[in-house]
Amino acid sequence: MAFKDIYGHEKQIRILRQAMSSNRIAHAYLFYGMEGIGKRSTALVFAKALNCREGRGEACGHCSSCLKADHGNHPDLRIIEPAGQSIRVQEIREIQQQMAFRPFEGGWRTFILVDAEKMNSTAANALLKTLEEPTPLNILILVSSRPYRFPLTVVSRCQPLRFNPLTRETVDLYLQERLSVPADTARLLAASSGGSIGRAIEMNDEDYLSVRNEMLEQVMGPQRQDPLRLFSIIHAFGQERKDILERLDILRACFRDALVFKETGMIHYLFNQDRAPEIQSFARAHSAADLLKNIRIVDRAYGAIDQNANKSLTLEAMMFRLTPKS
Ligand SMILES: [Zn+2]
């Protein structure tokens, strides 16, 4: 993989390439942004490009250094992932021991810490020492979707690089070009992915569309006036926190679509374009204030469940508050 193979993030890549061409490479970076958008891939390509024998600010993919990186056996490129729930201090000590020596191949040595916020506090303290006393030719790249979990002392010693969610078009393109997802499905998954390729792939795997169809029919379909029917979707949420959050996302997107349609009259802006008739009918039957209120209610339930609130109580309370009228 090379910079040219990364979908989106043109600005971030430009910054990294400029750093290389002007030889102003930071000793520590923090790549942060939502999950599944390409932070880790960009970090890997950056590490490859730094040592590429062609040396033109890109990873050529065929020199000996690029090949070693691709095969996962470049001695100066290490990827550290959490073992279980945390990155332990032992990992950081190993990094420090390696940093004491010059890179084996005479170029740059890069350590990529994936989900770096999972460092426990002893590990973070040990890392702080490394950040305070940088050594030449060693680069640390912390990759994280939860940068707010880092101690400020760590964050302030890294050069931050924020990765934005990808556009709907970029996710759509990726799904079609890389995974041969049919165009119709790709468009829908991209629209609901929130700009994350990883999320779109997950949804594709878990048959997201049939879950969404079920929810949408219960909440916005012709039977929606029946309050018992509305409550029956609580069962469709399942028991797993992750599934519940995903379904709340779907519900929020339905109300959001209805509000967008109400305000703009445009189908083009909907996440669930293929279900425009139900969304239009629901939008016509509700005021913008009610739709906005519903979005907030779902938001609140999402936050509560994300914070470990009682799942069934939260969902029931949410259902009571939603505006169910025709
Ligand atoms: Zn190369």
Cα-based angle 159, 56, 2 (whole degrees, multiple of 5): 70
Between the CA of 113 and the centroid of ligand 1 the distance, in Å, is 22
In a domain, 291, yes or no: yes
Kindly state whether residues 125 and 213 are assigned to the same domain: no
What spacing in Å lies between the alpha carbon of 28 and ligand 1's midpoint? 23
For residue 262, the enclosing domain spans 206-321
* Model pLDDT for residues 278-323, shown as the tens digit of each residue: 999 999 999 999 999 999 999 999 999 999 999 999 999 998 888 6
CA of 202 to the centre of ligand 1 (A): 32
* Residue that finishes a domain, picked among 108, 142, 162: 162
- Tell me the two tokens of residue 282: 């629901």
Q: How many angstroms separate the first and last alpha carbons of the chain?
A: 52
What is residue 324's predicted lDDT score, i.e. its pLDDT? 59
- With respect to residue 225, please indicate whether it lies within any of the assigned structural domains: yes
Convert the pLDDT of each residue in 56-94 to its tens digit: 899 999 999 999 999 999 999 999 999 888 999 999 999
* Amino acid identity, position 175: L
* Section 97-107 average pLDDT: 92
- Tell me 138's DSSP state: E
Ligand 1 centre and the CA of 74: distance in Å? 12
Which candidate, 289, 319, 290, 318, places its Cα nearest to that of 304?
Answer: 318
Query: Are residues 234 and 173 both part of a single domain?
Result: no
Which pLDDT score is estimated for 325?
52
Give Cα separations from 140 to 22, 43, 80, 99 (angstroms). Answer: 19, 10, 11, 10
Q: How many domains does the structure of the chain reveal?
A: 3
The conformation of residue 5, written as its DSSP 8-state character, comes to G
Where a domain ends, among 162, 194, 219?
162
Q: What is the pLDDT of residue 228?
A: 72
Q: How far is the CA of 106 from the centre of ligand 1 (A)?
A: 14
Three-class DSSP category at 143: strand
What mean pLDDT value characterizes the chain?
Answer: 92
Residue 1, number of CB atoms within 10 A of its CB: 15
- Cα distances (angstroms) measured from residue 139 to each of 10, 90, 300: 22, 18, 41
Q: Distance between CA atoms of 59 and 67, rounded to whole angstroms?
A: 10
In a domain, 180, yes or no: yes
- Measure the CA–CA gap between 69 and 109, rounded to whole angstroms: 12
Q: Which of 15, 3, 1, 34 has its CA nearest to residue 199?
A: 34
Evaluate whether residue 127 is within a structural domain: yes
Same domain, 185 and 142: no
* Residue 203 banded pLDDT, cuts 50, 70, 90: confident
What separation in Å is there between the alpha carbon of 57 and the centre of ligand 1? 10
